[in-house]
Amino acid sequence: MLRVAGLSKSYGHHEVLRDVDLEVETGEVVVVFGRSGSGKSTLLRCISFLEEPTTGTIEVDGISLSGGGHRTKSKRDRIRRLRVSTGMVFQSFNLFPHMTALENIAEAPRVVLKRSQAEAEATARELLEVVGLPDKAAQYPIQLSGGQQQRIAIARALAMNPKVMLFDEPTSALDPELTGEVLAVMRRLSTEMGITMIVVTHEMGFAREVAARMVFVHEGLIIEQGPPAEILANPRRPETRAFLDAVL
Ligand code: ADP
Ligand code: MG
């Protein structure tokens, strides 16, 4: 479903990602973890071309894009399609404050996919069910808890029917008692809907139960990856071990 090949990203002389390769199968959940500043957010932003890779190729469901070079019409068109194919959920939920939950979810399908208002709202109501908030359609973000806002943000990303969902520390801005409801929704996306996901998180319980694979990023490199049972119990690299000792 997703292939990242030879991805590097520099800001000026600072090389933030260095020759990263990553493949994710359809329906697979991959947890990415590592120290602050190691390049995890940059990796997700390059995958969705919110940031252009300095070099390397991103391929999502057959749409292939290389970093660098001119923005031809064909490339701009593929960037648009790639962004639709990759749903992003951020740490700070970023809902539109002047729109209700329902309007937040229906907006992009209406504007970008040209769905009719009725169709977009019908889909939005289904997605409110999926994230367990069918009674919050008319609420504004400010009237919702952080956990509820993040679940609306997940529904909003799903409304574009993405091929891959990218989560960037989706629970780290939440009070501890609210993280469980968001992780539960994410788990359902995997187990009940088979959604392909890359999740940057330090919720190791979630990783252990839901992820097929964990990927450790250190100074812009993937230095270790494997099944959660192996990575969590027997990390091979001292950097991975030191990080896990600090968070567990
Ligand atoms: P993480 O998500 O793992 O904490 P990031 O991907 O956000 O790490 O950042 C990796 C490194 O890239 C950091 O040193 C950060 O300062 C740098 N960086 C990220 N975005 C930019 C940017 N737009 N301009 C310059 N440096 C950046
Ligand atoms: Mg980050």
Quick one: pLDDT band at residue 70, thresholds 50, 70, 90? confident
**Range 124-127 contact pairs with CB under 8 angstroms and sequence separation of 24 or more:** 124/155, 124/159, 127/155, 127/158, 127/159
Supply the DSSP string of 47-63, one letter for each residue.
Answer: HTTSS--SEEEEEETTE
| Closest ligand 1 atom to 39 CA | 6
Ligand nearest to the CA of 37: 1
Strands of the chain, DSSP E: 2-11, 14-24, 29-33, 55-60, 63-66, 86-89, 164-168, 196-200, 213-218, 221-226
| Closest ligand 1 atom to 34 CA | 3
**Model pLDDT for residues 207-230, shown as the tens digit of each residue:** 999 999 999 999 999 999 999 999
From atom 12 of ligand 1, which residue's Cα is the shortest distance away?
A: 16
**Model pLDDT for residues 95-116, shown as the tens digit of each residue:** 999 999 999 999 999 999 999 9
pTM, 2 dp: 0.97
**Model pLDDT for residues 116-162, shown as the tens digit of each residue:** 999 999 999 999 999 999 999 999 999 999 999 999 999 999 999 99
Q: How far does CA 247 lie from the centroid of its chain?
A: 21
Distance 172 CA to ligand 2 centre (A): 10
Bridge partners of 183, per DSSP, are none
Average pLDDT over residues 226-248: 96
From atom 20 of ligand 1, which residue's Cα is the shortest distance away?
A: 42
| Binding-site residues, ligand 1, Cβ < 6 A | 11, 16, 34, 36-42
| Substitution candidate for ligand 1 out of 16, 92, 216, 239 with most atoms within 8 A of CB | 16
| Alpha carbon distance 238, 248 (integer Å) | 15
Closest listed residue to residue 185, CA positions, set 214, 223, 157: 157
